[in-house]
Amino acid sequence: MAVVKANAYGHGALETSRALVQQGVTRLAVFSTEEGVELRQGDIAVPIVVLGPIFREQIGDLLAHRLTPVVSDLSMLAALADAARPRSVPYPVHLKVETGMGRLGLTQEELETLLGSQTFSPSLQFEGFMSHLADSDGVLPDATEEQLVRFNRACKVVVDGGHRVPLVHLANSCGAVRFPSTHFSLVRPGIMLYGYHTLPSAVESPELRPVLSLKTCIAQLRTIHPGDTVSYNRTFTATRPTRLAVLPIGYADGLNRRLSNCGMVLIRGHRVPIVGRVCMDMVMVDVTTVPDAVVGDEVVLIGRQGSEQITAQDIGEWTGTISYEVLCAISPKIPRRYHS
């Protein structure tokens, strides 16, 4: 089950989903009902699981678009059962149990009450049972092993209640790679589909290639003099004659403002530094070392140029975050171009 929430981690939900389905992925996961509806409106036909919380006012859309809810609270299960009653076939739902993430999910006690003393509503099909790993990329395996014990205990409650659940799932990308015992019948990779991982260095990582490049071009070039300053609050002062390139991309496009005076970009195969504050929709770089740079030159913010590469992981390290956030932050308004 490929995870395409958050605009497929910034890659474009619809095109990414189409590509994944074409490559044989048979089930997708999104965060919200709205994300699921967007995929249905783009003619994605495979089952779509909504991982995030469902609100009552969304149940109509959810059912109308054949989206599979993950249920983490008992009142929502009852509301779904009511809404599904007029249907001729039971409506598939997945139940989530909380095993250590401290986020969504039924408690073990709620699960026992639900599955021990009540029959599952006949208007619903108990299609999936899941939990989520909190530390599959942690240095030590202990927390994941503990979650696995709790999840197996919860699975026993399901089986003892007489339920045959076809889809049991626990693993995210790092879980899938590092802990085979978390595989069950389905895994939920997200970040690794896009070519990144957060495995600790002691764990061998699969060979991954970042899928996405982020590019812009030089909009203007100018030379400034020693003592001249660049951008808001004048945080950069030239100490030599400096050739500046103005790039039409800024924090409104997802270029983190923490890259001010610290990030790098690639121009003509060279790494050049961001100087001054990143603005809302522009940023300046020092191209003194690239004298042949001209207006219109391609600028790579994420990706390869010549023998150089900048990854979302690099930007995460420069800005104190993770590749996930760097990718998700790329504004949907930036045009995506897809190459097969």
Q: Site residues (CB under 6 A) for ligand PLP? A: 3, 51, 132, 172-173, 188-192
At closest approach, how far in Å is the CB of 192 from ligand PLP? 6
| Nearest residue to ligand PLP, scored by beta-carbon proximity | 190
Nearer to ligand PLP, 176 or 299 (CB): 176
Calculate helix-pair angle for 108-117, 142-160, nearest 10 degrees. Answer: 10
Phi and psi of 214, rounded to 5°? -120, 120
Contact indicator for 100, 134 with CB cutoff of 8 Å: yes
Nearer to ligand PLP, 44 or 170 (CB): 170
Contact indicator for 196, 311 with CB cutoff of 8 Å: yes
Minimal CA–CA distance to 247: which of 212, 290, 287, 299?
299
Nearer to ligand PLP, 161 or 195 (CB): 195
The alpha-carbon radius of gyration of the chain (Å, integer) is: 24
At closest approach, how far in Å is the CB of 269 from ligand PLP? 31
Would residue 156 show up in a list of annotated catalytic residues for this protein?
no
At closest approach, how far in Å is the CB of 90 from ligand PLP? 24
User: Active-site residue among 91, 196, 215, 232?
Assistant: 232
DSSP lists the bridge partners of residue 106 as: 97
Nearer to ligand PLP, 177 or 264 (CB): 177
Phi and psi of 89, rounded to 5°? -120, 145
At closest approach, how far in Å is the CB of 117 from ligand PLP? 28
SS3 63: helix
Contact indicator for 191, 197 with CB cutoff of 8 Å: yes
Nearer to ligand PLP, 188 or 277 (CB): 188
At closest approach, how far in Å is the CB of 2 from ligand PLP? 9
DSSP lists the bridge partners of residue 50 as: 30, 69
User: Active-site residue among 5, 91, 96, 251?
Assistant: 5
Distances (CA, A) of 1 to 180, 181, 183, 262: 16, 17, 12, 37
Distances (CA, A) of 273 to 34, 159, 260, 262, 292: 39, 58, 9, 7, 16
Nearer to ligand PLP, 135 or 253 (CB): 135
Nearer to ligand PLP, 188 or 268 (CB): 188
SS3 262: coil
At closest approach, how far in Å is the CB of 288 from ligand PLP? 39
At closest approach, how far in Å is the CB of 76 from ligand PLP? 17
Judging by DSSP bridges, how do beta strands 270-275 and 264-267 pair with one another?
antiparallel
Contact indicator for 213, 302 with CB cutoff of 8 Å: yes
SS3 148: helix
Q: Tell me the DSSP string of 42-88.
A: TT--S-EEE-S---GGGHHHHHHTTEEEEE-SHHHHHHHHHHHTTSS
Residue 203 DSSP class: S
How far apart (Å, rounded) are the C-alpha atoms in residues 282 and 259? 12
Residues designated as active site: 5, 232
